[in-house]
Chain A
């Protein structure tokens, strides 16, 4: 049997018809919910194309930030992308290690983040804290700290996500590690008694379970209630503010050295920190904008919690993630 001949034929037939028109085009690898009809993608594409004068901005949607990194790693020097959008801080060290990215060269003075930012490769476009969202119809007084959550009555069930397969799950892993350090295994063991289940992804946890009323609390983002308040006009779901602080997620974009359109890519990165891009973030991506939007910020965002930010450096996360996951597995699998 000649496999390669078959595959060759398939490859050839797939190769036909890739040619595109001669206008300047910019390909951006990002994640699925960014480009959807309800995400910020379509409006941002329109705004950028109106601005650059006859260019074509093309989003290629992958499953998530980890998949963007994976795609870069597999494609290497001849990546089809000019830019990547959607790598969070925890993926930065690995992405930098690939040696494929170029400095952004953008003016970062407009940035308005909870932490200082001086990275020359990765440019933030939004941020948010991980948080436990609770159902006010099931609990009136949520725990006020991680410590209180660990001491809560055991019938206060929470829904978590697996750090091996989800970004929010990994967020909680880092959060617990940051707060409890070497005592993290004991903290996990105590939290475990209150865990209803650990899903593979955020969608399962939030929609299949939490929205069905299965548990009063779910691991999500501090910005999640903004959507319910603004679009559904419901105050039912709120985020619990914890005294120890909340782990921070910053989402970033970066340009590739191999890009054929470095000028245009830099234009896009600069455009990212303007109101024309940022005004689509709060309700489109349900995250906090990376610049001060002033009066354009939806009012519900003022009603969100504003906790202290906890972070590890990207390098520390990269170096320790495997060990910390193993630690969690041992503590949680019992």
Chain B
């Protein structure tokens, strides 16, 4: 057996440990609920006449939202990849990163300010259609909000996948003068094809479990999701058994979908290329001129129109509240606390993601394909377990130990890390395969092994995806309120908690300013992590 094939026992070991943690917390909390409920009759599910209606609506809105978010993200990502250097491109990428991590309450504020009955877009709508702009309420509003949240994420991840195509391939495409269709077939589609099923599953899960958006924009109880039913049975009716059964239903549907996506995703290609960004400008793509300029411009303008007005509304409201900020004495400590917790959760998510991906890859290479897929799928588990079930279950499991001091925060950090895990895995997955077989062979022959291989071969390829994954994971927990609300907190708030407290005390201007600060923090995290890893290290050859 050639040396490079000798597999280290570390990847599967760490992978299983990470899986045990994720599955233990996710399934353990569900189990605790079932155990506490004692009497569980699955027939309860069929006896609830509204369940079928809720399930139909949930599936319908999630499918529609996913198709639109992911489907429209494809031309947007292609346009972004084709235009590597237009003015404002960097800002647009930053804005795309912001939208995912907006707390829902703030995102809703921005969407309503733009698309509501009295919104900025309503005169345009009335002029076009002669009708009052009522499209924000009902299915159309739910889908619009989901697209606002998920299209930028999808396009961002697709762009990252497109950019991993080796520069040599782009150069060749330019030299051969490949047409639009040929570039799509040979370069773009293979990159996207391995990403799409998992991305669609991720977006579907996010839309399926959406709560505040569906209720606020749904118009009434006819638009309810399974999460609402779980909330009601757990909180108002204290029907633990029904809550656990509903959670199981959700788990089954979403995990089934993930399994399908994972098995369809195909083996990621091993052709991972140069670390350098494909400097497209130097090789003029034939498809980048002519009419395609206008088509790309339209797609990019559509993205700007979707993204920028609601974000501007939030920024404007926040600027109006800035004078109130210094009055909030808990603001800066809260910001610092949030940042530290986000860093912890981000690093945790990164470590878990690497462990699961490396373990999964090892298993797949050594012939345990199904086990490998299961390990990767396990990473998505926490996203599928309803937050309230997770919170109540963990509370039951850890109760004697769960005080209200720092251990509460530690638990929040852990759960946040687990919730950010699917995003981190999505970013890292394409980057991890790392070295091709010939490269490995060469490295072995040259004796580049161990830490040297990590330093000179693996790290340069991983640093950019790692930074993006860390940025997403950190900012997701920076903006998260749902988890911290589950466990109860001492009076020292995090930034999102502070925001909700301000609203509870009618300080909506101050809350808008806090939201602005949160956005600035998110942008800062992305900018710093992106900046730190922008240039690949220049190997210095010393004789």
Binding site for B on A (CB under 8 A): 1-4, 6-7, 10-18, 27, 29, 32-33, 35-39, 41-42, 58-63, 66-67, 70-71, 73-75, 80, 157, 162, 164-165, 192, 195-201, 203-209, 211-215, 224, 227-228, 231, 284, 286, 321-322, 325, 328-329, 332-334
Q: Which residues on B sit within 8 Å (CB–CB) of A27?
A: 404
Q: Is the CB of B407 within 8 A of A33?
A: no
Known: A61-B491, A204-B108. A197 touches B501 (CB 8 A): no
Q: Is the CB of B504 within 8 A of A35?
A: no
* Cα separation A2 to B17 with both chains bound (whole Å): 10
Known: A14-B411, A204-B212, A208-B105. A7 touches B25 (CB 8 A): yes
Q: Which residues on B sit within 8 Å (CB–CB) of A35?
A: 491
Q: B536 an interface residue at 8 Å Cβ cutoff?
A: no
Known: A192-B220, A195-B220, A212-B118. A207 touches B503 (CB 8 A): yes
Q: Is the CB of B137 within 8 A of A196?
A: yes
Q: Which residues on A sit within 8 Å (CB–CB) of B116?
A: 209, 212-214
- Contact for A15 among B400, B497, B506, B508, CB less than 8 A: B400
Q: Is the CB of B235 within 8 A of A66?
A: yes
Residue of A nearest to B235 (CB): A66
Known: A15-B400, A204-B105. A162 touches B24 (CB 8 A): no
* Cα separation A322 to B216 with both chains bound (whole Å): 22
Q: Is the CB of B216 within 8 A of A208?
A: yes
Residue of B nearest to A224 (CB): B506
Question: Interface code B26-37, partner A: CB below 8 Å = 1, 0 otherwise?
Answer: 011000000000
Q: Is the CB of B398 within 8 A of A213?
A: no
Q: Which residues on A sit within 8 Å (CB–CB) of B491?
A: 35-36, 41-42, 59, 61
Q: Which residues on B sit within 8 Å (CB–CB) of A11?
A: 397-398, 400-401
Can you report 9 A-B residue pairs in the complex whose CB atoms are below 8 A from each other?
A4-B24, A27-B404, A58-B404, A61-B491, A195-B219, A197-B218, A198-B220, A286-B505, A333-B221
* Cα separation A66 to B231 with both chains bound (whole Å): 11
Q: Is the CB of B407 within 8 A of A15?
A: yes
Stretch at the interface among B281-289, B482-490, B527-535: B482-490
- Contact for A197 among B20, B137, B392, CB less than 8 A: B137
Known: A33-B505, A208-B105, A332-B220. A7 touches B24 (CB 8 A): yes
Q: Which residues on B sit within 8 Å (CB–CB) of A157?
A: 117
Q: Is the CB of A215 within 8 A of B221?
A: no
* Cα separation A204 to B406 with both chains bound (whole Å): 30
- Smallest CB–CB gap between B14 and chain A, Å? 14
Q: Is the CB of B108 within 8 A of A32?
A: no
Q: Is the CB of B21 within 8 A of A6?
A: yes
Q: Is the CB of B501 within 8 A of A36?
A: yes
Q: Is the CB of A17 within 8 A of B117?
A: no
Most B Cβ at <10 Å: residue of A200, A203, A208: A208
Q: Is the CB of B404 within 8 A of A200?
A: no
- Smallest CB–CB gap between A135 and chain B, Å? 11
Q: Which residues on B sit within 8 Å (CB–CB) of A66?
A: 235-236
Q: Is the CB of B235 within 8 A of A67?
A: yes
Give the interface residue-count category, chain B: 35 or more
- Smallest CB–CB gap between B514 and chain A, Å? 12
- Smallest CB–CB gap between B217 and chain A, Å? 7
Q: Which of B479-516 contact A (CB under 8 A)?
A: 485, 488-491, 493, 497-498, 500-508, 511
- Smallest CB–CB gap between B49 and chain A, Å? 10
Most B Cβ at <10 Å: residue of A13, A60, A205: A60
Q: Is the CB of A207 within 8 A of B511?
A: yes
Q: Is the CB of B504 within 8 A of A36?
A: yes
Q: Is the CB of B489 within 8 A of A209?
A: no
Most A Cβ at <10 Å: residue of B105, B414, B504: B504
Residue of B nearest to A18 (CB): B403
Residue of A nearest to B407 (CB): A14
Known: A207-B511, A212-B118. A61 touches B403 (CB 8 A): no
Known: A207-B503, A214-B112. 4 other contacts (CB 8 A): A37-B330, A39-B505, A203-B504, A207-B508
* Cα separation A207 to B221 with both chains bound (whole Å): 20
Q: Is the CB of B506 within 8 A of A231?
A: yes
* Cα separation A13 to B105 with both chains bound (whole Å): 34
* Cα separation A15 to B220 with both chains bound (whole Å): 44
Q: Is the CB of B506 within 8 A of A39?
A: no
- Smallest CB–CB gap between B496 and chain A, Å? 12
Q: Is the CB of B500 within 8 A of A203?
A: yes
Q: Is the CB of B490 within 8 A of A58?
A: yes
- Smallest CB–CB gap between A157 and chain B, Å? 8
- Contact for A199 among B27, B216, B330, B508, CB less than 8 A: B216
Q: Is the CB of A6 within 8 A of B24?
A: yes
- Smallest CB–CB gap between A111 and chain B, Å? 25
Q: Which residues on A sit within 8 Å (CB–CB) of B232?
A: 164-165
Q: B5 an interface residue at 8 Å Cβ cutoff?
A: no
- Contact for A207 among B109, B119, B498, CB less than 8 A: B109
Residue of B nearest to A205 (CB): B216
Q: Is the CB of A164 within 8 A of B508?
A: no
- Smallest CB–CB gap between B239 and chain A, Å? 10
Q: Which residues on B sit within 8 Å (CB–CB) of A321?
A: 236
* Cα separation A180 to B397 with both chains bound (whole Å): 45
- Contact for B501 among A37, A165, A325, CB less than 8 A: A37
* Cα separation A211 to B236 with both chains bound (whole Å): 28
* Cα separation A199 to B218 with both chains bound (whole Å): 8
Q: Which residues on A sit within 8 Å (CB–CB) of B231?
A: 164-165
Q: B222 an interface residue at 8 Å Cβ cutoff?
A: yes
Q: Is the CB of A39 within 8 A of B411?
A: no
Q: Which residues on A sit within 8 Å (CB–CB) of B237?
A: 322
Q: Is the CB of B407 within 8 A of A1?
A: no
* Cα separation A40 to B22 with both chains bound (whole Å): 40
Q: Which of B6-65 contact A (CB under 8 A)?
A: 16, 19-21, 23-25, 27-28, 50
- Smallest CB–CB gap between B474 and chain A, Å? 22
Q: Which of B380-409 contact A (CB under 8 A)?
A: 392, 395-407
* Cα separation A207 to B216 with both chains bound (whole Å): 12
Q: Which of B115-139 contact A (CB under 8 A)?
A: 116-119, 137
Q: B451 an interface residue at 8 Å Cβ cutoff?
A: no
Residue of B nearest to A159 (CB): B216
* Cα separation A6 to B19 with both chains bound (whole Å): 11
* Cα separation A152 to B533 with both chains bound (whole Å): 61
Q: Which residues on A sit within 8 Å (CB–CB) of B20?
A: 1-3, 6
* Cα separation A214 to B330 with both chains bound (whole Å): 32
Q: B371 an interface residue at 8 Å Cβ cutoff?
A: no
Q: B93 an interface residue at 8 Å Cβ cutoff?
A: no
Known: A33-B504, A61-B489. A208 touches B222 (CB 8 A): no
Q: Which of B205-243 contact A (CB under 8 A)?
A: 211-212, 215-222, 228, 231-232, 234-238
Q: Is the CB of A14 within 8 A of B398?
A: yes
- Smallest CB–CB gap between B67 and chain A, Å? 24
Q: Which residues on B sit within 8 Å (CB–CB) of A39?
A: 501, 504-505
* Cα separation A333 to B405 with both chains bound (whole Å): 43
Q: Which residues on A sit within 8 Å (CB–CB) of B407?
A: 14-18
* Cα separation A201 to B500 with both chains bound (whole Å): 12
Q: Which residues on B sit within 8 Å (CB–CB) of A206?
A: 503, 508
* Cα separation A329 to B498 with both chains bound (whole Å): 34
Q: Which residues on B sit within 8 Å (CB–CB) of A328?
A: 221
